[in-house]
Amino acid sequence: MNTIPILNIEQFEEDSFSNFYSNDLSTHLKNNALMVHKPHSHNFFLCVFFLEGTGTHEIDFNSYDVSKGSVFFLRPGQTHSWSFTSAPKGYIFFHTQEFYEFYFLNKTITQFPFYYSYENPPYLGLSETEIKGISSRFEDINTEFHQTNIYKKQKLASLINLTYIDLSRIYTTIDAKHEVLSSSYLKALSVLEHTIETFYKKEKSAKFYANKLNITVKHLNRITKSTINKTTTQLITERVLLEAKRLLVHSNNSFSRTAETLGYNDYAHFSKLFKMKAGLSPLDFKKRYKIDDN
């Protein structure tokens, strides 16, 4: 049976930190080849910056081109894999949510536009001018991580905060819809996504989630439309479909068992919905993304 490995920071043997890690990208990929070159997910936040290299980065069945200036942001639970056509160079760091929020008591990691919703693109392409500034940030983080100075964690937290601020400014400039939004709306969106994550296999109605948040369906949809330009029903359906794709590709469940796991007792209804949204039948999708176990 194909299963998706869930990696944690302790598996990356660098320093004694259990909540933060940094490395230059080529060394990271070489040292951890057995873990990172097949589809996997993490229980931490990850940011990777490419200075060289080409290829593709697949994140939750969406494919992104890798090139000089590419930056990727991953939240816990997202599944991804790499495929390179030329050797990559750059930097990578990752950390737990607790690491960031311990040092910034009035902030959350999900305040940043690339982290506040799974619906926001996990990718940013930098210009030559932007590459210079961001490169120095990543280099400072990596240098600090591999030294043994006092206040090391405090400085690392400050450096990643500055890096995220700089990247957020570029991110929001490129696409106006990612502008800084109301903190109350962002908090509600975060609660909604967490609630969907908990109940999506059984509950598919917007009314259920509105009740959980103690607001009306109309107001809940106002929040989702204002923040990510989607309805609550769209978010629920997209989460169901993502899990369906993961089960189809990474498990040996029958199609009917996959449907039942996601709360559909009628396989025909599930298959019709899947094909309408994914553009392929469950069988064709499984064939397209079949993974070699060897």
Question: pLDDT digits over 205-255, tens only?
Answer: 999 999 999 999 999 999 999 888 899 999 999 999 999 999 998 888 999
| Domain assignment present for 27 | yes
CB proximity list for 210: less than 8 A, separation 6 or greater: 216, 217, 219, 220, 232
> CA-CA distance, 56 to 54, in Å (whole number)?
7
Q: How many domains does the structure of the chain reveal? A: 2
CATH code at position 271? 1.10.10.60
Tell me, yes or no, whether 118 and 206 share the same domain: no
Tell me, yes or no, whether 34 and 161 share the same domain: yes
Would you state the pLDDT for residue 294?
39
> CA-CA distance, 218 to 209, in Å (whole number)?
12
| Domain assignment present for 5 | no
Tell me, yes or no, whether 43 and 28 share the same domain: yes
Would you state the pLDDT for residue 2?
57
Tell me, yes or no, whether 171 and 30 share the same domain: yes
* Domain final residue pick, 153, 178, 203: 178
Would you state the pLDDT for residue 70?
98
Tell me, yes or no, whether 137 and 24 share the same domain: yes
Q: What is the tens place of the pLDDT at every residue in 163-185?
A: 999 999 999 887 655 555 667 88
Tell me, yes or no, whether 39 and 131 share the same domain: yes
Would you state the pLDDT for residue 182?
67
| Domain assignment present for 10 | no
* Domain final residue pick, 115, 146, 178: 178
| Domain assignment present for 67 | yes
**Residue ranges making up the domain that contains 199:** 183-288
| Domain assignment present for 68 | yes
Tell me, yes or no, whether 99 and 169 share the same domain: yes
Tell me, yes or no, whether 173 and 202 share the same domain: no
Task: Name the pTM for this structure.
Answer: 0.79
What is the per-residue DSSP string for 16-68?
A: S-SSEEEEEHHHHHHHTHHHHSSSBEESSEEEEEEEEEEEEEEETTEEEEE-T
Tell me, yes or no, whether 270 and 220 share the same domain: yes
CATH code at position 103? 2.60.120.280
Tell me, yes or no, whether 247 and 164 share the same domain: no
* pLDDT < 50 regions, the chain: 1, 292-294
Tell me, yes or no, whether 43 and 120 share the same domain: yes
Tell me, yes or no, whether 23 and 160 share the same domain: yes
